[in-house]
Structure 1
Amino acid sequence: MSEGTATRVDCHVKILDERIVERAIAANLDAIVYAPHFTRLPEIRRTAAAYSSEELTVVPAREVFTGSWRNRKHVLAIGLEEPVPDFIPLETAMAEFERQNAAVLAPHPEFATVSLNESDLERFEDVIDAVEIFNPKHLPSHNRRARELADQISCTPFASSYAHLPRTVGVAHTEFDESVDDEADLVDALRDSVSRRVVHQNGRRRWQATAGELAHLGYENTWKKVDRLFLSGTEPTHPDHIAYDGRFDDVAVY
């Protein structure tokens, strides 16, 4: 990375197609982090590479669902070399991220029933590299609490669109005070706590995004969805999948 060049990164999007790329470029973003649910790392990498260009870097990442569906914690890892499954204990996932020297991010802390809480952040403060203090799915009270938590463990912040819907892309991003040209650069920027600014909209578009994303959240949190996508068989990110070579058999919660 070279000094003196700011880089605008949406640090967490769940969807990726031509519309997402067009919206990201129109919003003057330099990079987005692509971390879809229940998708193995090799597939994420292939998709990210297919949509990357000189105009927009797409960085592959995994938002791992740790714990059981009813007591799950989401953790975002960037820079993984080896795949990590969903539905393993939080401490197992954190140890694996640390072993691989990945950048570890805490998305949407204390939000709904899917997030790291104050106790988790304090327990793993030496592993976590950044805490999300804004995304448009949050209400203002959630963002204030997230900032408090980041300050409490003296952790650098980040923001993202956390887009599950195309129109949300561009509503929020993180602006780093160095150039970020690829995945390795972003991992370094996060792990080295490079100075940054959280940037987001506050007008009509932001609140439209909030309304749309919160409506979408209902589906995201249904047992019917996880049963169909994940527990009905050995899906790609199930700990028992052959891709994990039995390494997580003893700790899988399902």
Structure 2
Amino acid sequence: MTSEGYAVDLHVKVLDEAVVRRAKDRGLDAIVYAPHFTRLPQIEKRARQFSDDELTVVPARELFANSWQKRRHVLAVGLDEPVPDFLTLSATMDELRRQAAAVLVPHPGFLSVSLGLDEIRRYQDTIDAIEVYNPKHLPHHNRRARRFASETGLPTFTSSYAHLRKTVGEAWVEFERPLTGAGEIVDALRAGEKRRVLRREGVGHQLRCALEFAHLGYENTWEKFDRVMLQGTAATHPDHVAYGGEFDDVKVY
């Protein structure tokens, strides 16, 4: 914990020794690790591998609800059981409520992949926080996100949303009290505990934001989805054997 508070980067996609070093160098106490198309047990195992006394790595899933063309991203922190991608949005939210996970809205209203204001209002009793600054956003995206938070009265957060290692720690939240382990971080999110929403400034930050935005090109293509999800049964596809048909009645593929 720094003198300013307990610092958490609430959403990163990459995790290795270099990421851990960067997180520590930037004064973070924890990062939330939520890679795409990776099952929860694998994420949990990797989070344990890279956690130590200086840095807590919290396993999470950024779930893709609905179809690829109408997908809605929902960040779930504190899952007890695996949840696949490409369920209906209502089924995804029902499952997160059942598991009492912390439910965060990353990059709200962004492009065609995010929860809009109407959807946030519909699930407001389930959602624990809205992201109001994201390095992939342009300024008007951040203004819209802040408006969503203001109109709903939901707590706010930020994250690096790092798909690139050097973006880790570009944006973070600081809780007022020390938190011990992933469980307390989840509890703090669900309780709406006070936090500061912080980010770096300057040319270096702007450059890293630009590089992250450029990374969107491939990340959101149909070709990627076809390669990852449709050319065989991917790890987070509802048809994967690991889910045992549990979600067959609420899947969209």
Correspondences of 1:188-207 after superposition (within 5 Å): 188-207=187-206
Asked if the contact 1:7–1:175 (Cα under 8 Å) also holds between the matched residues in 2, the reply is yes
In structure 1, what is the equivalent of residue 34 of structure 2?
35
In structure 2, what is the equivalent of residue 119 of structure 1?
118
Matched letter for residue 23 of structure 2: A
Asked if the contact 2:135–2:213 (Cα under 8 Å) also holds between the matched residues in 1, the reply is no
Structure 1 alignment gaps of length 5 or more = none
Q: Matched residues in 2 for 1:52 and 1:201: separation?
A: 24
SS in 1 for 2:215: helix
In structure 2, what is the equivalent of residue 91 of structure 1?
90
Does residue 51 (structure 1) correspond to residue 36 (structure 2)? The answer is no
Q: Matched residues in 1 for 2:42 and 2:14: separation?
A: 13
Asked if the contact 1:5–1:178 (Cα under 8 Å) also holds between the matched residues in 2, the reply is no
In structure 2, what is the equivalent of residue 250 of structure 1?
249
Q: Matched residues in 2 for 1:201 and 1:140: separation?
A: 15
In structure 2, what is the equivalent of residue 105 of structure 1?
104
Q: Deviations over 1:89-112 (max 9, x none)?
A: 000000000000000000000011
Q: Matched residues in 1 for 2:49 and 2:154: separation?
A: 33
Shift, 1:242, TM fit: 1.3
Q: Deviations over 1:14-45 (max 9, x none)?
A: 11111111110010000000000000000000
Correspondences of 1:124-203 after superposition (within 5 Å): 124-203=123-202
Structure 2 alignment gaps of length 5 or more = none
Q: Matched residues in 1 for 2:31 and 2:9: separation?
A: 5
Q: Deviations over 1:176-211 (max 9, x none)?
A: 112122111011101111000000012112111111
Q: Identify the range of structure 1 (55-64 vs 137-146) with the bigger mean alpha-carbon deviation.
A: 137-146
Does residue 20 (structure 1) correspond to residue 19 (structure 2)? The answer is yes
Q: Matched residues in 1 for 2:234 and 2:205: separation?
A: 35
Does residue 70 (structure 1) correspond to residue 62 (structure 2)? The answer is no
Flag as ranges the 4+ runs of structure 1 deviating above 2 A: none
Q: Matched residues in 1 for 2:145 and 2:201: separation?
A: 17
SS in 2 for 1:69: coil
Matched letter for residue 244 of structure 2: D
Shift, 1:5, TM fit: 8.0
Asked if the contact 1:171–1:205 (Cα under 8 Å) also holds between the matched residues in 2, the reply is no
Q: Matched residues in 2 for 1:15 and 1:140: separation?
A: 25
Asked if the contact 2:4–2:174 (Cα under 8 Å) also holds between the matched residues in 1, the reply is no
SS in 2 for 1:206: helix
Q: Matched residues in 1 for 2:219 and 2:34: separation?
A: 15
Shift, 1:55, TM fit: 1.1
Q: Deviations over 1:145-203 (max 9, x none)?
A: 11110111110000100000011111100001121221110111011110000000121
Shift, 1:6, TM fit: 2.0
Matched letter for residue 117 of structure 1: G
Q: Matched residues in 2 for 1:21 and 1:144: separation?
A: 31
Q: Identify the range of structure 1 (165-174 vs 31-40) with the bigger mean alpha-carbon deviation.
A: 165-174
Q: Matched residues in 1 for 2:119 and 2:104: separation?
A: 12
Q: Matched residues in 1 for 2:168 and 2:66: separation?
A: 29
SS in 1 for 2:18: helix
Does residue 231 (structure 1) correspond to residue 230 (structure 2)? The answer is yes
Does residue 217 (structure 1) correspond to residue 201 (structure 2)? The answer is no
Q: Identify the range of structure 1 (183-192 vs 34-43) with the bigger mean alpha-carbon deviation.
A: 183-192
SS in 2 for 1:132: strand
Asked if the contact 2:77–2:186 (Cα under 8 Å) also holds between the matched residues in 1, the reply is yes
TM norm structure 2: 0.97
TM norm structure 1: 0.97
Q: Matched residues in 2 for 1:205 and 1:98: separation?
A: 39
Q: Identify the range of structure 1 (164-173 vs 31-40) with the bigger mean alpha-carbon deviation.
A: 164-173
SS in 2 for 1:155: coil
Matched letter for residue 153 of structure 1: T
State the percentage of identical aligned residues: 56
SS in 2 for 1:88: coil
Shift, 1:251, TM fit: 1.7
